């Protein structure tokens, strides 16, 4: 397969705080070494990884560090990772909005990108004028844009306001028009950041369908950044996981999503969790024969007449709610410890990873805690004569074979 995008040893450094080295002589020295002598910038050797949760000792951070990957022509690639992982920086480099600090990027074909709300739009121009402006930037002739104009306007759903200045559009209308322009103009590569999250559900579904069409049927290359794992799984055949600027995993979309879920530090709750009258001291996940037990240690610190509830929510790895259950915490007596145990064989679930959401609330009025962690469920129930297929649930159904049976029309 021909490579549409090839990235080699790509790195991008940013300076936080005050710009410059601090003195004119140091700035001139840096300019002379990097621009005239063409040597490595000595100040970048002090750079650190872009971990937003850790206090920095240097004012140089690496948003991307030594990233290598290749995207084939016509492939759809999902780029995932936590906030601050370097996803948007990577897309900006590929879209030529910013340049890399080190490394090489080779792109074959024209690039249409939708990086943020309003990208590529002039607020004083009308929607129609901005369509022609974007097409001209991509190198398209006026006749080519004329041929696509009706499709763009119809897809965006803003026909009534197409001759109104874009500055008067709502955020949702701007995103609709921007995506319609990027998806319909004849570019070989389509880059979409997570701006679709501001659109309504119907438009998001419409956009996913359009990206599937341009990727699988039109042979265009699609790079898609999203925190919606279900959308990534539906649209993308392969994926890339970024963690603090490093490329941690590259493979199929399924394997990349699994690596992302396991790498997330949000999976680990820090105990004890102080909730005032109630304290969560710990959690354990155990196998009890064929059953699975989710155990929560709760300490009642003070007597309280208000009812407290512990709610358990099980979601798929793609954030689809499977079921919820709650249990009353007895706070009628102080200075006592309770172990709340939820036990189930989870026979209706398939093997895999599931998100467990833990919520504590007072009589349905006030959230006290909302956190999540990951549960890897491996069942030991053999299903004779069946194979494990895709899907969320595994109902205990059975097949039968009947000879000589014929369907009768009614």
- Please give the model's pTM, rounded to 2 decimal places: 0.66
CA–CA separation, 69 and 79 (whole Å): 12
Estimate to the nearest angstrom the gap between the alpha carbon of 79 and the chain centroid: 7
Q: Closest by alpha carbon to 316, among 374, 358, 359?
A: 374
Q: Can you name the CATH fold of 3-8+66-263? A: Rossmann fold (3.40.50)
Q: Which helix H or strand E contains 34, and what residues bound it?
A: none
Rounded mean pLDDT, 307-323 = 77
Q: Looking at domain 267-377, which CATH architecture does it have?
A: Sandwich (2.60)
Identify the pLDDT of residue 170. 86
> Do the Cβ atoms of 292 and 394 come closer than 8 Å?
no
> Do the Cβ atoms of 189 and 221 come closer than 8 Å?
yes
Domain ranges of the chain: 3-8+66-263, 267-377
pLDDT in tens, 358-402: 777 776 555 555 545 555 554 433 334 444 455 667 666 666 666
For the chain, the average pLDDT equals 76
């Amino acid at each position: 397969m021909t490579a549409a995008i090839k990235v080699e040893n790509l790195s991008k450094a940013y300076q936080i705080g005050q710009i410059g080295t601090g003195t004119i002589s140091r700035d001139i020295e840096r300019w002379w070494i990097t621009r005239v002598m063409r040597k490595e910038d000595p100040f970048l050797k002090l750079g650190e990884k872009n971990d937003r949760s850790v206090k920095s000792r240097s004012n140089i951070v690496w948003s991307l560090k030594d990233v290598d990957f290749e995207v084939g022509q016509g492939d759809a690639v999902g780029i995932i990772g936590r906030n601050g992982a370097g996803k948007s920086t990577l897309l900006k480099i590929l879209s030529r909005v910013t340049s890399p600090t080190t490394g090489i990027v080779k792109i074959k074909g024209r690039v249409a990108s939708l990086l943020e709300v309003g990208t590529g739009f002039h607020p004083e121009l009308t929607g129609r004028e901005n369509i022609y402006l974007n097409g001209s930037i991509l190198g398209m002739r006026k006749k080519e844009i004329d041929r696509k104009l009706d499709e763009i306007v119809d897809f965006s759903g803003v026909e009534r306001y197409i001759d109104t200045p874009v500055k008067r559009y709502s955020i949702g209308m701007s995103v609709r028009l921007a995506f319609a322009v990027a998806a319909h103009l004849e570019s070989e590569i389509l880059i979409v950041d997570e701006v679709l999250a501001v659109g309504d559900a119907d438009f998001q579904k419409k956009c996913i369908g359009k990206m599937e069409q341009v990727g699988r049927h039109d042979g265009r290359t699609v790079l898609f950044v999203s925190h919606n794992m279900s959308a990534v799984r539906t649209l993308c055949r392969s994926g890339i996981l970024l963690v603090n600027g490093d490329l941690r995993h590259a493979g199929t979309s399924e394997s990349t999503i699994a690596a992302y879920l396991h790498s997330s530090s949000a999976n680990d709750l820090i105990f004890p969790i102080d909730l005032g009258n109630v304290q969560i001291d710990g959690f354990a996940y155990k196998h009890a024969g064929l059953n699975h037990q989710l155990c929560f240690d709760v300490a009642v610190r003070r007597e309280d007449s208000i009812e407290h509830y512990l709610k358990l929510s099980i979601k798929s790895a793609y954030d689809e709610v499977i079921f919820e259950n709650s249990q009353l915490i007895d706070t009628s007596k102080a200075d006592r410890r309770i172990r709340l145990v939820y036990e189930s064989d989870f026979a209706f679930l398939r093997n895999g990873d599931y998100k467990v959401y833990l919520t504590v609330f007072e009589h349905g009025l006030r959230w006290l805690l909302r956190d999540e962690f990951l549960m890897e469920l491996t069942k030991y129930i053999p299903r004779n004569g069946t194979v494990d297929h895709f899907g969320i649930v595994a109902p205990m159904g059975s097949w039968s074979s009947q000879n000589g049976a014929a369907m009768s029309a009614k």
